[in-house]
Structure formats: structure tokens, C-alpha cells
């Protein structure tokens, strides 16, 4: 039987039959007030459902389709907002990093350093992030096969860390589309580390709107239910009270008022699945 690692975040553990974890929030920090409101509402929902919650938002989106796309408040102001949200909500926080220089200041504030999919093979970034002592969540590159993530894991382990989460967000075949192969979940889980499903970026149409990405929000619930049936350990979702107003990735974000019903479905499916997977 495969030895499964559990990864501790704050006061809860992820993986090996533990409750589903949710990493969720707005794509990018648009304003402090709105980000706090979204995080507070998600915390209320997850508290009712007994789901461990990690607040997610980016201080900088460095891979926007257009140079003029909104990127966020930046490192200094963004970290102040994330620190304040973390203290106000009393929840752990995850955010993206894009280079080794960001690791030290960001790791002083957040609990989970997230490696964007496009950077998932960057050895120095992975190694430096692992050395920080934070949990490292690596999004599988759209260009990688699921089995390739074993090499990503080894890079982090070389830094002496086993605080690893792996996230599936779909594979690209070009033409502004992503496809989720459900085989990827057991394949990535065979590394021995928890696997997260990014249910919102998986329905993204990268660059599909010309100077920005489009998306098929209506398919999030179907892919998420399928992933729960495939045995994931948690979900990543970008959530907004009004996605039409969102400054980044609005077309693939989940409506805040739709989140609770979806999570109830995922919990129910997971309860059935984990009995078989974690025997």
C-alpha cells in the first residue's frame, strides 16, 4: 500500500482521508474591503460545513494576457492586506509567488506558497520556496503530463521538505482550451502527496477573449463532482460576489452565493470515495 503523506496547514491536516480542504477567494486582491468580505463569507460557509479553509488571493498576477491587465496591488501593499485578512478571519492564507526574491517576504505572511502552473518546472523557485518552511502548492503545468509531477516533487524533497500539495488545473492542446484528464488524480496521488483540484482555472479559456481569458463557468460543478469521485484531497476555487465585475478571471469564477450548495455535493461524494481510496 502506498504511504500517503499528510500535510499540516495551521491546525488541520490535508490528505490520507482527512476532510476536504478548500483554498478559495478572489483571483486577485481588488480592494481590501471586497477581499475581506469574500473571505469572511467563505469562512462562514466552510465553518457550517466543517471544511478546513485557506484564504486565497494574489497580490500580483504576473502572467496576464495583456500588458494593461489589472495585476493587483503589488507586493508591499498586497502583503499588508493578506496579513490583515489572515488576522481578521483567523485562517491560513495562500498566494502566488513568481520569483525567488519574493519567497522571503511572502513566507513571513502566508502559510502556503503557490507556484503558478507556468512556473512549475522552475528548479530554483521550487527549491527556494521549499527552504522557506512553508507548505508549497504546485500547480501542474498545462504542458506537463501528470506523471511528470514526480520530478517536481523530487526537487522540493531535495530541499528537505515534505510539505507538498499538487494541484491539477487542466492540460492545454492549444486553441484557447483546457482539458481535465481524470486519470491525473490517481497518477499524481501516486507520488504520496495530497492532490488538489483547481475547479475554476480548469474551465478557463486562456486568452480566449483576445486581450484577456474567457471561461466556461457553467462546467465548474460537473468537473468538481467528477474530481471528488476521483478521490482528490481538496479544492481550489476562485470565488467572487459578482464575477461580472471581477478584475481578473471573472468568466470562470464561482458565484459566492452558489458555493455552499456545490460544497455540500462535493462532501457527499467524497465521503463515499475516500472509504475506497484510503483503505
Number of neighbours of residue 267 by Cβ within 10 angstroms: 15
Which grid coordinates belong to 240?
A: 467572487
How far CA 228 is from CA of 21, 22, 232, in Å, comes to 12, 12, 6
CA 10 to chain centre: 16
Separation of first and last alpha carbons in the chain: 9
What is the pLDDT, as a whole number, of residue 262? 98
Cα separations in angstroms, 124 against 23, 112, 151: 25, 17, 14
One digit per residue, the tens of pLDDT, for the chain of length 279 reads: 578 999 999 999 999 999 999 999 999 999 999 999 999 999 999 999 999 999 999 999 888 777 878 899 999 999 999 999 999 999 999 999 999 999 999 999 999 999 999 999 999 999 999 999 999 999 999 999 999 999 999 999 999 999 999 999 999 987 888 999 999 999 999 999 999 999 999 999 877 666 667 779 999 999 999 999 999 999 999 999 999 999 988 899 999 999 999 999 999 999 999 877 766
Widest Cα–Cα separation across the chain: 50
pLDDT value for 67: 80
User: What pLDDT score does 62 carry?
Assistant: 83
Residue-wise burial string across 193-231, b where 16 or more C-beta atoms lie within 10 A, e elsewhere: bbbbbbbbbbbbbbebeeebbbbbbeebbebbbbbbebb
d(CA 169, CA 224): 11
pTM, two decimal places: 0.95
Q: Enumerate residues 6+ apart whose C-beta is below 8 A from 75.
A: 59, 60, 102, 105, 106
Q: Do 230 and 182 form a contact (C-beta atoms < 8 A)?
A: yes
Residue 47 near residue 244, CB atoms below 8 Å = no
List of residues 6+ apart from 93 with CB closer than 8 A:
54, 55, 56, 82, 85, 86, 109, 110, 111, 112
pLDDT of residue 212: 62
Name all domains of the chain by residue range, CATH numbers in brackets: 7-272 (3.20.20.70)
What pLDDT score was predicted for residue 140? Answer: 98
Amino acid at each position: 500500500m502506498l504511504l500517503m503523506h499528510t500535510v499540516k496547514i495551521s491546525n488541520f491536516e490535508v490528505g490520507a482521508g482527512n476532510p476536504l480542504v478548500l483554498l478559495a477567494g478572489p483571483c486577485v486582491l481588488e480592494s481590501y474591503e471586497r477581499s475581506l468580505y469574500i473571505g469572511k463569507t467563505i469562512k462562514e460557509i466552510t465553518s457550517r460545513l466543517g471544511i478546513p479553509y485557506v484564504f486565497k488571493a494574489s497580490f500580483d498576477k504576473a502572467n496576464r494576457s495583456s500588458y494593461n491587465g489589472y495585476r493587483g496591488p503589488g507586493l508591499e501593499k498586497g502583503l499588508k492586506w493578506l496579513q490583515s485578512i489572515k488576522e481578521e478571519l483567523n485562517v491560513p492564507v495562500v498566494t502566488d509567488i513568481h520569483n525567488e526574491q519574493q519567497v522571503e517576504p511572502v513566507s513571513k505572511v502566508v502559510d502556503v506558497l503557490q507556484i503558478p502552473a507556468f512556473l512549475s518546472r522552475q528548479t530554483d523557485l521550487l527549491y527556494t520556496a521549499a527552504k522557506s518552511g512553508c507548505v508549497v502548492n504546485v500547480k501542474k503545468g498545462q504542458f506537463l503530463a501528470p506523471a511528470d509531477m514526480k520530478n517536481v516533487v523530487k526537487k522540493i524533497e531535495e530541499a528537505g521538505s515534505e510539505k507538498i500539495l499538487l494541484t491539477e488545473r487542466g492540460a492545454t492542446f492549444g486553441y484557447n482550451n483546457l482539458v481535465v484528464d481524470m486519470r491525473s488524480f490517481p497518477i499524481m496521488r501516486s507520488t504520496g502527496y495530497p492532490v488538489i483540484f483547481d475547479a475554476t482555472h480548469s474551465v478557463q479559456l486562456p486568452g480566449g477573449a483576445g486581450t484577456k481569458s474567457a471561461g466556461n463557468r457553467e462546467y465548474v460543478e460537473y468537473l468538481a463532482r467528477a474530481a471528488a469521485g476521483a478521490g482528490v484531497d481538496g479544492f481550489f476555487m476562485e470565488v467572487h460576489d459578482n464575477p461580472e465585475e471581477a478584475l481578473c478571471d471573472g468568466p470562470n469564477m464561482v458565484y459566492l452565493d452558489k458555493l455552499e450548495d456545490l460544497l455540500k455535493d462535493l462532501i457527499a461524494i467524497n465521503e463515499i470515495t475516500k472509504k475506497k481510496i484510503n483503505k
